[in-house]
């Protein structure tokens, strides 16, 4: 049985807001749900995993360039309310899943999207240019 929680406690509803406002909301949320019907929303996903927040996001053509199923996020089929309900229920009821998604998401962020990772990518690119 799902525990009933106030919606604001469980899911941050984010519109295109100033970055500090979005970051503040993600930082306070327990989880994040991003429902997309196009390839967009990757920045919100990256912000969520940077805070170690397990996320649910619509599987779009480019989302898997940023996160894999079970590595920081649960991916749901576009337009599938049933998939979304099931994913929310899984996050609400499975402490082990939440912990695994949180850890994997944070690790993915640190390895691929952090400032340190960006510097590493630029250094690798500069090395390749010098070698060419």
List pLDDT tens digits, range 2-17: 444 444 444 444 444 4
pTM assigned to the model? 0.67
- Tokens (6 digits) for 62: 């480019």
Residue 1 forms part of a structural domain: no
What is the spatial distance between Cα 49 and Cα 112, in angstroms, rounded to a whole number? 11
Residue 42's domain comprises 7-131
Domain CATH code at residue 59: 3.40.50.2000
Number of separate domains in the chain = 1
Q: Is residue 48 included in any domain, yes or no? A: yes
pLDDT digit string (tens) for 13-40?
A: 444 444 444 455 555 555 555 554 455 5
DSSP state of 93: H
> 51 in a domain, yes or no?
yes
Distances in Å between the Cα of 32 and the Cα atoms of 46, 47, 110, 122 are 11, 10, 19, 30
Measured CA to CA, the distance from residue 113 to residue 15 in angstroms comes to: 22
pLDDT at 100: 94
Asked whether residue 2 is assigned to any structural domain, the reply reads no
pLDDT of 131 strictly over 60: yes
């Amino acid at each position: 049985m799902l525990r009933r929680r106030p919606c604001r406690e469980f899911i941050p509803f984010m519109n295109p807001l100033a970055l500090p406002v979005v970051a503040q909301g993600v930082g306070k949320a327990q989880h994040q749900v991003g429902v997309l019907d196009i390839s967009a929303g990757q920045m919100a996903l990256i912000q969520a995993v940077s805070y170690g927040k397990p996320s649910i996001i619509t599987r779009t053509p480019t989302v898997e360039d940023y996160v894999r199923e079970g590595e920081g996020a649960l991916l749901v089929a576009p337009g599938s309310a049933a998939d979304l309900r099931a994913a929310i229920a899984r996050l609400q009821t499975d402490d082990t899943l939440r912990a695994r998604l949180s850890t994997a998401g944070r690790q993915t962020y640190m390895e691929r999207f952090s400032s340190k990772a960006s510097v590493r990518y630029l250094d690798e690119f500069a090395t390749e240019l010098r070698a060419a």
